[in-house]
Homo-oligomer: A and B are copies of this chain.
Amino acid sequence: MKICFELAQQGIGHVAPNPLVGSILVKNHQIIAEGFHQKVGENHAEKNCIENLELSQTENSILFCNLEPCSHTNKRTPPCTELIIRKKIPHVIISNIDPNPLVSGAGIKKLQDHGIKVEVGISQEIGLKLNEIFFYHIHHQLPFITLKWAQSLDGKLALNNGQSQWISNQKSRTKLTDLRLEHDGILIGAGTLINDNPSLLPRDNNQNILMRKKRFVLCSNKIEFSQYQIFNDQYAQDTYLICPKDIAEKISYPHHQIINYDAKKSFTENIPEILKKIYLKGCYSLLIEGGANTLTSFYQNHCYQKLCLFIAPVILGQGKAINESVILENLPKIKHRYHLECQAFDDNVLLTYRWNKG
């Protein structure tokens, strides 16, 4: 199953809204074929794995797949269960049941009805994590949200004069690229746009762009579009503006690239509708990169599924931080709220927090 997960990961960034799926066929304790879901609209993993094999190869074999094979027909590709049955594979081992209501156990049942032995739940926690974006958006019909920032040990994202971009070892930057690749869209506030004029696209070590991404700017005032690269580069048609209705009416920006909200309501009141609109733009996962005010809004509204903090080993003193205006009278109760993973990149560390279930 570990090999299935590794194969599946090769689809990162290309398969949404579909899940990441890898598949191998094992015969006489040897892997005789493998496949993964490479791109939305193209073959499923199982098909890539077994379609070209002869019956003499698939007989008496075991198919491993990290997600339940599909059984529904209302999509671009024919159901994988039929292919498995046709290839006379007698034994299928699965990590996770497909949460898609159109599958959700029906694929397993169909295989079993044809006398195929099916085992489910192998390494299921790893499978759930691999496809956390897919499981979340299928269940909630909203984008999976990751808040990401880089900070000093004392929680400063920038100096008071705006200087930032200082978490800068190469391994951390590579990991940030991975995060951008994993998400469909990247969101920043207007302050970050104005300060940094970023491209927000994942790049390799030679600064080549690896993949196009939807880009979102949250702003409450008019913006000089001509000044910022995300409105003018070759991917500008993927740049969306999230702004109040009255601003939206006054600016000349393509209508379908505007997500407007009611400025009379609070952010807390607006956020569900904004997220729904982002989702309907085909953005199933969103990486929110800053600045401090934008992150604070999402953080305070518990509007995230994952926190990714890069921490550099320096204590800055005064500077910009998340939640900086909050004054607590009592320490909050925080026990067991998160599951934590930590990963060191030389002297930088990435802390990843996910909500604890239950």
Contacts and interface: CB of A to CB of B under 8 A. Distances in A.
Interface of A: 151-156, 159-161, 163-164, 166, 168-169, 299, 309, 311-319, 321-332, 334-344, 346-349, 351, 353, 356
Nearest to A164: B331
B349 A342 contact: yes
Contact of A312 (B169, B329, B334): B334
A317 B325 contact: yes
Given A318-B326, A342-B342, 4 more contacts: A159-B329, A317-B328, A318-B325, A318-B328
A341 B344 contact: yes
Contact of A314 (B166, B324, B332): B332
Contacts of A309: 153
A161 B329 contact: yes
Nearest to A299: B315
Q: Tell me the number of copies of this protein.
A: 2
Nearest to A326: B317
Contacts of A337: 313, 347
A311 B324 CA distance: 18
Contacts of A356: 347
A356 B169 CA distance: 15
Contacts of A166: 331, 334
Contact of A340 (B317, B338, B349): B349
A321 B323 CA distance: 15
Which secondary structure dominates where chain A touches chain B? loop
Nearest to A295: B315
A59 B299 CA distance: 68
A344 B352 CA distance: 11
30 contacts: A153-B351, A154-B154, A154-B321, A154-B322, A154-B323, A155-B156, A163-B330, A163-B331, A164-B331, A166-B334, A311-B351, A313-B334, A313-B337, A313-B338, A313-B340, A313-B353, A314-B332, A314-B334, A315-B321, A315-B323, A316-B323, A316-B328, A316-B332, A317-B325, A318-B325, A335-B347, A340-B344, A340-B347, A342-B343, A349-B351
Nearest 9 Cβ contacts at the A-B interface: A317-B326, A154-B155, A317-B323, A155-B155, A166-B331, A342-B342, A315-B323, A338-B347, A314-B334
Nearest to A342: B342
B153 A331 contact: no
Contacts of A341: 344
B312 A316 contact: no
Contacts of A161: 329
Contacts of A326: 315-318
Given A338-B347, A342-B349, A344-B341, A318 B313 contact: no
Contacts of A336: 346-347
A303 B164 CA distance: 27
